Amino acid sequence: MSKEVEHKRTYDISDIQKVIPHRYPFLLIDKVIDHIDNDRIVAIKNVTMNEQFFQGHFPGKPVMPGVLVLEAMAQACALLSVWSTDGVPPGSVLYLVGATDVKWKRQVVPGDTLRIEMKFVKKRRPLWMLAGEATVEGQLAASASISAYEGEPIDPKGA
């Protein structure tokens, strides 16, 4: 069963919000600068001092929590999985079910632009496996292999 997908190379925040259910303060992708159908995605997270997590992580030395860098990577995976031909049906959700080979190599701080590139490794529905890395100015910040499970659509009213 195929679905009609508009294949674009770039997406803005309104395109992103149509696809994944995350909202502030948990939406961690600002834009997508490249997308190759059924292959890879490159997403951007602009890190600012206004992020809520910097209030307590850490006072006087703000550092983006590594688990949120990993979450940004997972959100990029979800976007690639939905925007790919024969991908996740609109309205369905990908749930993060595994992360392996996770490595953090560089701190991410206010003012950084996090560039996230994720690629498909294997699709065996309802399981999706991707791998990639997050960089800042060409320096590796994090890398991971991510597994996600295709779940039922979420009721936007929370019922």
Asked, for residue 101, whether it belongs to a domain, the answer is yes
Asked, for residue 118, whether it belongs to a domain, the answer is yes
Q: Which of 20-34, 80-94, 96-110 has the lowest mean pLDDT?
A: 80-94
SS3 at position 69:
helix
Asked, for residue 3, whether it belongs to a domain, the answer is no
> Which residues constitute the domain of residue 29?
13-151
What value does the mean pLDDT take over residues 131-150? Answer: 97
Asked, for residue 157, whether it belongs to a domain, the answer is no
Asked, for residue 90, whether it belongs to a domain, the answer is yes
Condensed to tens digits (0 to 9), the pLDDT of residues 113-129 reads 999 999 999 998 899 99
Contact by Cβ (8 Å): 38, 85: yes
SS3 at position 71:
helix
Asked, for residue 81, whether it belongs to a domain, the answer is yes
Contact by Cβ (8 Å): 109, 154: no
Cα–chain center distance at 141: 15
Residue 57 annotated in active site = yes
Asked, for residue 29, whether it belongs to a domain, the answer is yes
Asked, for residue 1, whether it belongs to a domain, the answer is no
**Number of domains making up the chain:** 1
User: How far is CA 85 from each of CA 5, 108, 120, rounded to the nearest angstrom?
Assistant: 7, 33, 13
Condensed to tens digits (0 to 9), the pLDDT of residues 47-99 reads 999 999 999 999 999 999 999 999 999 999 999 999 998 888 877 888 999 99
Phi, then psi, of 76 in degrees rounded to 5:
-65, -40
CATH of the domain at 30: 3.10.129.10
pTM (two decimals): 0.91
